[in-house]
Amino acid sequence: MSLVRLDGVEKRFGDLHVLKGIDLKVEAGQVVAIIGKSGSGKSTLLGCINGLESHDDGRITVDGKVVSEDARSLRELRQTVGMVFQQFNLFPHLSAGRNVMLAPMVVHKAQGQASEALARDCLAKVGLAEKFDTYPDKLSGGQQQRVAIARTLAMQPKIILCDEITSALDPELVAEVLKVVKALADQGMTLIMVTHEMAFAREVADLLVFMHQGRVHEVGAPAVLFDAPQTPELCQFLGAVL
Amino acid sequence: MNYTFHFADVFAYGDLLLRGLWLTILLSAVSTVLGLIVGIAGALGRNSEIAPVRWLAGAYVELIRNTPFIVQLFFLYFGLAQMGLKMTAGQAALLAMVVNLGAYATEIVRAGIEAISKGQWEAGLSLAMTRWQVFRHVVLLPALEKIYPALTSQFIIVMLGSSVVSQISAEELTFAGNFIQSRNFRSFEVYFVITGLYLLLSLGFRQVFRLIGKRVFGKG
Amino acid sequence: MVQFTFWDILRNLLLAAQWTVLLSLIAFVGGAVVGLIVCVARISKNPGPRWAARIYIEVLQGTPLLMQLFLCFFGLSLIGLNVPPLAAAAIALTLYTSAFLGEIWRGCVEAISKGQWEASASLALTYPEQMRYVILPQALRIAVAPTVGFAVQVVKGTALASIIGFVELTKAGTMINNATFQSFLVYGLVALLYFALCFPLSLLSRRLERRLNVARAS
């Protein structure tokens, strides 16, 4: 059974039809890269998977459970699905370590010591063990994004959603974040990422999804899609970005 | 003008002044804490998903902000007494100050919450926190930090406004002044001194708030 | 005890409310005139007036309006002027209003970006010309909403004139209350009448502010 499964998912914002029937299956351990023009519905799709966006039609199943709008089941869902954002969204009033510790303490009611150990462990995984007491405004963008990844890891999710996580970074800081993501992929984490880093998608992803006007326009192995795009839309898109 | 000022006649009542000063400080400090709590609750009410709660919180804010404090005080003290709810002057004074500050604090805190970016909510929710947990652990403190200057100004306005509670014989600083001038008939000197004390109080309170702000919002 | 019907009470309060309106108007207009001077002094390049204005604002914003009323009332009689309560209240409220309006307007002038000063200076405008043609027209636009908003504070401030014996809405309420002992009704009505005066001003201020924000966003 697929870890994540979308069947005919639809989403409207008023008159705007953002998702027009999305079907997608993601297996455990798979790395999925979603590409496409802005406005093609990529970020909305991610938001639907962890319930930050409600969907209007169709069905989303994560780890065997159907995603609903009920608050309790949403919280359960989000313990399975972590998310990393384009703008990091670190909590500015908490140190890096406290950012990571917060959810384990509040949601899992973990003890202070246990969650501190967990936080140090997670920060070490992203190479920021020594930044435990540093506040977000004293970190570079790349470091902030790595703390955000550590914060998600601390919840021990089965899936991590990455929403253009390098788009807000200065070019020289992109590599350090991608390195962390690559390491996660190598360890077998299930990743669904919206990205503009085509080279990275080609290297790391098992499955490439090209979205166009609210639909999955083309889907397949990255090598196949990059080297032999079947639709003129993908050709045009790749021509523009590569 | 051939008037001789007699400030010594005022300071002869030094202990009375000090007692009044102390009660003013006490009233202001307690109503600051309680008013802030009311303000946070009010702001949550203004953003509630339950429509009647929203309307109620809105009506509270508008009613208080568009009527004079002294009328609120009289209504609470005399009006409610007529309805059978009797309070001492001190209780009524405190209640009026809390109710008044609470309404202003509601609007200020609400503005602070609105100033927190949507991303903070999304990040908190994505970590499987409830809305309340996100509010409590992620949103509240940065929101208060953003509005801290507006909040402290409002606290000082309420402290200064507390001089009005002398009108229901709550024995704070202005009341002490009224009492002294009824004895020595040195109205101008008495109120001049009292005014000076209030000025010192507002300068002092501002410093205290600055230190508290540093403690609470200072990082590292 | 005199018998008052509901309509007697309301009629008397409405009559007294006229004095509240009059005192508010005097204080607001007077406060605006003095406030303009305070504002100009506060943003002056000359440190003398700047400091004087700063202390003036600090003192008036750092002391209770009630004390200002008392000092005007008792102080003026000290120098031999037997001032009626209306005059004392009008003077105190004017000073009070001027300090707040002066500070509000200073904020508006300073909200105009430095680029506007530089651009107008590089067009060889003098300081008064810069003010007259570039800065003030822009500052005025943003000043309208908070100024109207402060009018609410002025109306509410006039209630304190009751304490020095000026018969406006609050004083009338107290007098009727003393005659009828219907505190709940009387003070409830007094509050509603103030609300009727203030709420439209609050709404107007908010609408002006929103319109300005929309205009700026586009």
Q: Where are the alpha helices (DSSP H) in A154-231?
A: 174-186, 198-204, 222-227
pLDDT band for position B219 (cuts 50, 70, 90): low
Domain ranges across chain A: 4-88+159-241
- Please list, in sequence order, all residues whose beta carbon lies within 8 angstroms of the beta carbon of residue C4, skipping any fewer than 6 positions away: C176, C179, C180, C182
A52/A67 Cα distance (integer angstroms) = 11
Tokens at A186, concatenated: 């190598």
Please write the tens of the pLDDT for every residue from B77-94: 999 998 889 999 999 999
- Chain B positions touching A152 (Cβ under 8 A) are 126-127
Distance spanning both ends of chain B, measured CA to CA: 60
Q: What is the pLDDT of residue B169?
A: 85
User: Which of A71, A85, A107 lies nearest to residue B119, judging by beta carbons?
Assistant: A85
The pTM (predicted TM-score) of the whole model is 0.86
The DSSP symbol for A63 reads T
Helix axes B51-65, B14-46, angle to 10 degrees: 150
pLDDT of residue C45: 85
Q: Identify whether the C-beta of residue B190 lies closer than 8 Å to the C-beta of residue B177.
A: yes
pLDDT in tens, C39-48: 999 988 899 9
Which is it for strands A81-84 and A159-163: parallel, antiparallel or unpaired?
parallel
All residues of chain A having their beta carbon less than 8 Å from the beta carbon of residue B130 are 71, 75
Instruction: Mark yes or no for CB contact C63/B198 under 8 Å.
Output: yes
Rg of chain C (C-alpha set): 21
* Cross-sheet strand order for the sheet of A65-66: A16-26, A4-13, A57-62, A65-66
Whether residue B74 and residue C152 make contact (CB cut-off 8 A), yes or no, is no
∠ at Cα A11 (A8, A16), nearest 5°?
Answer: 130
pLDDT tens digits for C84-131?
Answer: 899 999 999 999 999 999 999 999 999 888 888 888 888 888 888 888
pLDDT of residue B12: 77
| Contact check, Cβ <8 Å, B123/A89 | yes
**pLDDT computed for residue C121 by the predictor:** 83
Given a contact as 3+ CB pairs under 8 Å, which chains touch A?
B
Nearest CA in chain C to B198: C63
Determine whether the interchain pair B68/C156 forms a contact, defined as Cβ–Cβ distance below 8 Å.
Answer: yes
Q: Residue B29: name the closest of B141, B217, B172 by CA.
A: B172
Q: How far is CA C196 from CA B62, B66, C152, C177, in A?
A: 11, 8, 11, 20
CATH topology of domain B12-217: MetI-like fold (1.10.3720)
The nearest alpha carbon in chain B to C154 belongs to B68
H/E stretch holding A32: strand A31-36
What is the rounded distance in angstroms from the CA atom of residue B188 to the CA atom of residue B194? 10
Q: What is the residue range of C32's domain?
A: 6-217
Between helix B14-46 and helix B173-184 the angle, nearest 10°, is 150
Nearest CA in chain A to B121: A89
**pLDDT band at C217, cuts 50/70/90?**
low
* Confidence label for B186 from pLDDT (cuts 50, 70 and 90): confident
Q: How far is B126 from chain A (nearest CA, A)?
A: 6
Tell me the pLDDT tens digit for each residue of C1-22.
Answer: 557 888 989 999 999 999 999 9
Which residues of chain B are within 8 Å of residue A76 when distances are taken between CB atoms? 128
Q: Which residue of C has its CA nearest to B4?
A: C78
Closest CA to A212 of A20, A49, A33: A20
Q: What are A16-58's pLDDT values in tens digits?
A: 999 999 999 999 999 999 999 988 889 999 999 999 999 999 9
Q: How far is B71 from chain A (nearest CA, A)?
A: 41
Q: Indicate the number of domains in chain C.
A: 1
Q: How far apart are CA C22 and CA B2, in angstroms?
A: 35
**The pLDDT of residue C157:** 96
**In 3D, which of B183, B47, B23, B194 has the Cα closest to residue B106?**
B47
Rounded Cα gap, residues B207 and A29, in angstroms: 57
Distance CA C107, CA B165 (A): 32
Q: What is the pLDDT averaged over residues B137-149? A: 94
Percentage of residues in chain A having pLDDT higher than 70: 100
Q: Is residue A18 within a helix (H) or strand (E), and if so which, with residue range?
A: strand A16-26
* B9-56: pLDDT as tens digits: 777 788 889 999 999 999 999 999 999 999 999 999 999 989 999 999
How confident is the model at residue C118, as a pLDDT? 84
Q: Which chain B residues have a beta carbon less than 8 Å from that of A71?
A: 130-131
Average pLDDT over residues A78-97: 93
Separation between Cα atoms, residue B77 and residue A106, nearest integer Å = 44
Q: What is the pLDDT of residue C181?
A: 87
Residue of B nearest to C70 (CA): B191
Tens digit of each residue's pLDDT (9 = 90 or more) over C130-176 = 888 888 888 888 999 999 999 999 999 999 999 998 999 999 999 99
Question: pLDDT band at residue B1, thresholds of 50, 70 and 90?
Answer: low
- How much is the pLDDT for B218? 80
Asked whether residue B119 carries a pLDDT value surpassing 90, the answer given is yes
Dist. CA B88–CA A216, nearest whole Å: 72
**pLDDT, chain B, mean:** 92
Phi-psi region of A136 (alpha: psi -120 to 50; beta: other; left: phi over 0): alpha
- What's the CATH superfamily of A4-88+159-241? P-loop containing nucleotide triphosphate hydrolases (3.40.50.300)
Residues from B contacting C (CB-CB < 8 Å) are: 1, 3, 62-63, 65-72, 74-75, 78-83, 156, 160-164, 166-167, 174, 187-188, 191-192, 194-195, 198-199, 202-203
With beta carbons under 8 A apart, name residues in chain C contacting B80. Answer: 184
CB atoms within 10 A of CB C35: 27
Range B67-96 burial, b when 16+ CB lie within 10 A, else e:
bbbbbbbbbbbbbbebeeeebebbebbbbb
What is the DSSP code (8-state) at residue B68? -
Contact A89 B217 (CB under 8 A): no
Q: Which residues contact C101 (CB under 8 A, 6 or more apart)?
A: C31, C32, C35, C36, C38, C39, C147, C150
Name the minimum distance, in Å, from the CA of B216 to any CA of chain A: 10
**Distances from the Cα of C13 to the Cα of A169, C26, C57, C80, C175, angstroms:** 66, 20, 34, 33, 10
CB contact under 8 A, B130 and A83: no
The full set of domain ranges for chain B reads 12-217
CATH number at residue C172: 1.10.3720.10
Q: B130 and A71 in contact by Cβ < 8 A?
A: yes
